[in-house]
């Protein structure tokens, strides 16, 4: 068994130069994105011919072995009149998400964009007749959020030569190379030509794709839009950053550009009976956990066939956004903190000014270490194992910045085992109280420090 960290490190080892690629700067600072899985599978919503189909909702065609001719008929019913691009983008913004990635084509092969390569797409095959990707691209530009597309490059259960459908098509007679050349590439070209700047293409489940095919897709993306990132699931250890397994968070810091794609409940595509919603606390702590280990959190919503993002998702995203509204400084633009494996929480760090994190106000000062306290100590005395650093001051994030304000700074005492920060007896925030340590001088604190030679 390979560990999750092992998978990511292996991917990164093969592209060591990428660690400092400035094309990823915005993405490294973003930390939090919205994933949207939306397609025909939202109509059956986990149920086929009166049977509940186990597993994730967007896999229903495979799990129920639905013939292409039958599944295709869903398109004639797809009319998401409640779809409102402005609302979706606004939700992502209020949640504090900095980029949005939506399924342009998932494994079922149905194109949620207007493709000229075939008619199995939302404009040509549904009564809806609109191109939601166009509308989202316009709204993302208007509201200032980056847009990326999920595109299933290997699995396509609708295309006779795509991978995965062995109930309609015989695997022996498939021309997979022809499918990549004559279908995938023209569609990737459409996505990168017709929708303005695309921040990334999110490929998935590489399976049988060859190194040459992966390479040629990466090259095509970069040729069309040099700044467009490619995620690691293009396969064959290529791509601009590494992807953790679905819903998997590494146990330890990973020195790589990596991302965890994750669900709020269990499914990606809308599934009516999946009500196993994670709590806001769980989501906030996962975001912080991921940021503290150097990753990004791409958190999914699965809108209904009417075009509505389920209310439990909305509520949770707004709760995360509310927390970020007060504590965003400790997440956006940060790097893994000097303290890893803390019993009571996590740490992130903002490098001293002169190394500003793009998109955030320059810190204009010393290095700031953020202590994310999940489990507030009884009595409020927080032990911080940072023995070699002199702390200029400690304060609760969100309290007035003036050092003369007695309510803002917290008393710090140094001992042989580290520092003790005296906070209030009761946790100011039961989910995650952020204590800021401002380090005196040019503190070089380890994992979060950038190599000044690069
Ligand atoms: O797009 C989402 C998933 O559909 C996709 N990746 C995320 C981002 C994904 N592709 N493959 N997988 C996830 C792994 C799929 C595993 C399972 Fe199954 C699908 C388990 C149950 C359904 C395949 C079919 C394995 C068992 C039955």
The tens digit of pLDDT for each residue in 385-419 reads 986 667 889 999 976 555 454 457 999 998 888 99
In sequence order, which residues have a C-beta less than 8 Å from that of residue 281 and are 6 or more positions away?
A: 430, 431
Q: Which domains does the chain have, with CATH numbers?
A: 3-330 (3.20.20.80), 335-439 (2.60.40.1180)
Percentage with pLDDT > 70 across the chain:
89
For ligand 1, say whether the CB of 205 is within 6 Å of any of its atoms. yes
Q: What is the pLDDT of residues 206-248, one digit of tens each?
A: 999 999 999 999 999 999 999 999 999 999 999 999 999 999 9
Q: Whose CA is nearest to atom 3 of ligand 1?
A: 268
For ligand 1, say whether the CB of 176 is within 6 Å of any of its atoms. no
Once rounded to an integer, what is the mean pLDDT over residues 297-311?
A: 99
Q: What is the pLDDT of residues 13-64, one digit of tens each?
A: 666 677 789 999 999 999 999 999 999 999 999 999 999 999 999 999 999 9
Q: What is the pLDDT of residues 83-106, one digit of tens each?
A: 999 999 999 999 999 999 999 999
Q: Whose CA is nearest to atom 2 of ligand 1?
A: 268
Residue 450: predicted pLDDT: 38
By CB atoms closer than 10 A (0-12, 13-18, 19+), residue 323 is: buried
Rounded to two decimals, the pTM is 0.94
Once rounded to an integer, what is the mean pLDDT over residues 184-190?
A: 99
DSSP character string of 215-261: HHHHHHHHHH-TT-EEBGGGSTT-SSBEEPPTT---SS--SS-EEEE
Kindly report the average pLDDT of the chain as a whole number. 92
From residue 302, alpha-carbon distances to 3, 96, 336 in Å are 29, 18, 30
Q: Whose CA is nearest to atom 11 of ligand 1?
A: 205
Q: Which two tokens stand for residue 416?
A: 């042989």
Tokens 């090259």 appear where?
A: 219
For ligand 1, say whether the CB of 5 is within 6 Å of any of its atoms. no
Q: Whose CA is nearest to atom 20 of ligand 1?
A: 55
Once rounded to an integer, what is the mean pLDDT over residues 444-448?
A: 47
Of 59, 107, 231, best ligand 1 pocket probe by most atoms within 8 Å of the beta carbon: 59
Q: What is the pLDDT of residues 329-373, one digit of tens each?
A: 999 999 999 999 999 999 999 988 755 455 444 446 789 999 999
Residue 20: predicted pLDDT: 85
Tell me how far the alpha carbon of residue 103 lies from the centroid of ligand 1, in angstroms. 14
For ligand 1, say whether the CB of 44 is within 6 Å of any of its atoms. no
For ligand 1, say whether the CB of 55 is within 6 Å of any of its atoms. yes
304 neighbors 408 (Cβ within 8 angstroms): no
């Amino acid at each position: 068994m390979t560990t999750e960290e092992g998978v990511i490190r292996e991917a990164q080892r093969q592209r060591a130069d990428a660690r400092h690629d400035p094309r990823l700067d915005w993405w490294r600072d973003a930390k939090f994105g919205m994933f949207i899985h939306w397609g025909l599978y939202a109509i059956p919503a986990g149920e086929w011919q009166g049977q509940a189909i186990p597993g994730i909702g967007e896999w229903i065609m495979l799990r129920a072995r639905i013939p292409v001719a039958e599944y295709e008929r869903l398109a004639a019913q797809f009319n998401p009149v409640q779809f409102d691009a402005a609302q979706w983008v606004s939700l992502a913004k209020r949640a504090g998400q900095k980029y949005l990635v939506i399924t342009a084509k998932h494994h079922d092969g149905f194109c949620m964009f207007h493709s000229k390569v075939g008619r199995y797409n939302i404009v040509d095959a549904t009564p809806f007749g609109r191109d939601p990707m166009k509308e989202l691209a316009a709204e993302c530009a208007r509201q200032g959020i980056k847009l990326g597309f999920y595109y299933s490059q290997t699995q396509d259960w609708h295309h006779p030569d795509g991978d995965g459908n062995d109930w309609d098509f015989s695997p022996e007679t498939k021309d997979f190379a022809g499918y990549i050349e004559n279908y995938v590439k023209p569609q990737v070209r459409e996505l990168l030509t017709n929708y303005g700047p695309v921040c990334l293409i999110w490929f998935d489940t590489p399976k049988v794709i060859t190194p040459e095919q992966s390479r040629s897709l990466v090259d095509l993306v970069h040729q069309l839009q040099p700044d467009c990132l490619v995620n690691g699931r293009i396969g064959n250890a290529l791509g601009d950053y590494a992807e953790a397994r679905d819903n998997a968070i590494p146990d330890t810091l990973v020195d790589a550009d990596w991302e965890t794609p994750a669900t709020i409940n269990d499914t990606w595509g809308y599934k009516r009976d999946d009500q196993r919603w994670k709590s806001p606390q769980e989501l906030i702590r996962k975001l912080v956990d991921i940021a503290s280990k150097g990753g990004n959190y791409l958190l999914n919503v699965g809108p209904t066939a009417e075009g509505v993002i389920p209310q439990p998702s909305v509520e949770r995203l707004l709760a995360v956004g509310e927390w970020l509204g007060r504590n965003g400084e400790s997440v956006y633009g940060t790097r893994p903190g000097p303290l890893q494996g803390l019993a009571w929480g996590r740490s992130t760090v903002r490098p001293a000014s002169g190394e500003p994190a793009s998109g955030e106000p320059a810190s204009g000062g010393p290095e700031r270490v953020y202590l994310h306290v999940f489990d507030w100590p009884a009595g409020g005395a927080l032990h911080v194992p940072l023995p070699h650093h002199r702390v200029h001051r400690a304060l609760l994030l969100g309290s007035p910045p003036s050092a003369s304000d007695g309510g803002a700074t917290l008393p710090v005492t140094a001992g042989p085992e580290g520092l003790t920060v005296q906070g209030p007896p009761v946790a100011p925030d039961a989910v995650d109280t952020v204590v800021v340590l401002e380090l005196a001088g040019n503190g070089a604190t380890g994992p979060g420090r950038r190599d000044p030679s690069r």
